[in-house]
Structure formats: C-alpha cells, structure tokens
Amino acid sequence: MSEVVLYKEGALTPAQVAHLAEVPPELEWLANITNDKTRRAYKLDVGEFSQFLGLTRPEEFRTVTRAHVIAWRELLERRDLSPPTIRRKLSALSSLFEYLCEKNAVAGNPVDGVKRPMVNSNEGSTPALSDAQARRLLEAPPEDTLKGVRDRAIIATLLYHGMRREELCSLKVKDLQSRQGVIHFKVKGKRGKIRFVPAHAQAQRLIESYLLLAGHGDDNDGPLFRPVRNNRTGELDRPLNANSLYRNVVRKYGQDTGLNIEVNGLCVHSMRATAATNALSHEADIAKVQEWLGHANVSTTRLYDRRKTKPEDSPTFRVRY
C-alpha cells in the first residue's frame, strides 16, 4: 500500500486539494495510525495479504470475503508462525476493514467470525526477573565511568518505573518535574498520551549523579539520557537509540552477570515486566498499576499479575514420600 503524501505548510494548490479528495480510505487508514512501529507492522501485514490475493489497487480490498481471510490464515498456519504473530496479522487486517466500514466503503468486516489462534492470555510471555536478579543487574555497571554511571541510572529508571524503551529514550531533562513536592517523570506514552510517574528515590539519586557527571543538567530541552560516544558523527546531544539501549545496556549487563543464560529472552521489556510483577506482588492496586504502565486496558496489566503462579505455591512442594 502506498502512503498519503504529506504537504509542507502553507496553502494547498487546487491540484493538491483535488488529489487529497481522491485519497481512498484504505490509505487514510494507514496514515491515521500515529505510532510508527505499529504503522510499519500493519503496513507489512496488509501488504503481505495483498500479495497473497494479488491485489494491486487499494480499492480492490472491497472485494475481499471471509473465505479469502480464512485461506490466508491457513497459509500462515502452514508457515508455522506463532499464534501471537498470526493474531497480530489478522488484527491488522481487521483494523483496516473496521475503518472501511466506518467510511461506508464496505458493508461488513470479513475478518469478523474468522477464528484466531488461541494464546495464553493468563500470563505474559515476557520474562520477569527475581528480586535477586534485579539487584544484580542494578549493581552490574561500574561506578567509576560515565557510561557506568549512566547505565546504572538507566537500569534503575526501567526497573523502578516500568517504562517502555521508547518512553525512556524520549525523556528530556525537563521531564523530571516537581509535582506537589515530589519529583515525577513526565512520560509520553503510546498515541501521545502523557502520564506522570513519581520518581523512585534510588533512581532519582542515580540520575542526579549522572547529570552532574555528564554536565547537561541545565539543558532542559535536551535528552535526559545520551550517548557517551559517537564514532560516526561525534554528536552526543541527541537521544539514545532504542536498539542501542538493548544492545549496549540490557544485553551487555545481562551477559556480564550471566542473566542472559538464566533468563530466556531477556530484553528491555523484561525490565517493564519485572517492575509490574514486583509492584503487584507487593499488593499494588492493579488499577493503579494499569495507569502507571500506561495501559489502555486492564487485561494487558493482568498479564503481569503472577501472584497466583508463584513456584513456591506449587503442589510439587507439598508432595512427601
């Protein structure tokens, strides 16, 4: 699918006005997805469906039937894709047709009624760390280098506040704000939603040490966490890259401490899962945790609620011979 052309500021020419009037709703749908990551994934998923059916023009989506969707689902299953992946691809297609229904371009959503693979909805698949493992990770970075001081502050911010990696990377110095006498993070979440998260005292102390050593504590409009070196351009007053956060912080110290062997699938999101699981295990209100994490639906928050699945509560440890 092609994308809607974005025009520069200023009055549109008559030709541009006419062009926008002719934009099919199939392209409007894609342009209206504000999250870049979601838009890329949905574009790929719907593009894959288009190739499967041989669709060449956006308007041809209006000929799609439920039988076409079922045939595509069966193809995805034969490719041995995971159930969550198949569900995501069907969700992308369903999102498109929901939009077409709203625009009266189609009479119904052909994805409705198409059975989707079952997934374990009782517990998330992202691994969470134990308290001891979390402490090892917090203490892993050295305290005598700028990178080490920065990385301690980053890991603490992730483990104590449950932020997404994109949220952490987009933090600016001015996003540390005092509200009612308590320092808060101003976090920009998905779909541009803003939430204020109180800063944990330990993380606040580490961030203050980092800013003092790095010397950009007065650069209010600049990024809070920055690269310590840039071999390509030398530019350091820019935000951290989300992929770099994984490679150079979480994966690095996971390897240094052996956690990448102990915890299968250790990633940045594991820090978020750890924070949420820990808060819930210590009797945090699940509605407050939902707000804290920036979840739109409490069912997502429940994936981190593992209070009923503690290993020590298993009947295994009640067996006696």
* Residues recognised as catalytic: 164, 190, 269, 272, 295, 304
The residue type at 99: Y
Strands 182-188 and 194-198, sheet pairing: antiparallel
Q: Is residue 251 classed exposed, middle or buried when 0-12, 13-18 and 19+ CB atoms within 10 A define those classes?
A: middle
Query: For residue 23, what is the DSSP state?
Result: -
CA separation for the pair 218, 170 (Å, rounded): 17
CA atoms within a 13 Å half-sphere pointing along the CA-CB vector of 70: 7
**What's the CA angle centered on 130, arms 128 and 136, to 5 degrees?**
110
Identify any residues that bridge with 188 across adjacent strands, giving them in sequence order: 194
Contact criterion met (CB below 8 Å) for 154 and 252: no
Give the HSE-up count for residue 126: Cα atoms under 13 Å, Cβ half-sphere.
19
Q: How far is Cα 93 from Cα 300, in angstroms, rounded to an integer?
A: 21
For residue 179, the cross-strand partners are: 182
According to DSSP, residue 200 is labeled P
The helix/strand count (H/E) of the chain reads as 15, 3
User: What residues form DSSP beta bridges with 198?
Assistant: 184
* Cβ neighbours of 139 (radius 10 Å): 12
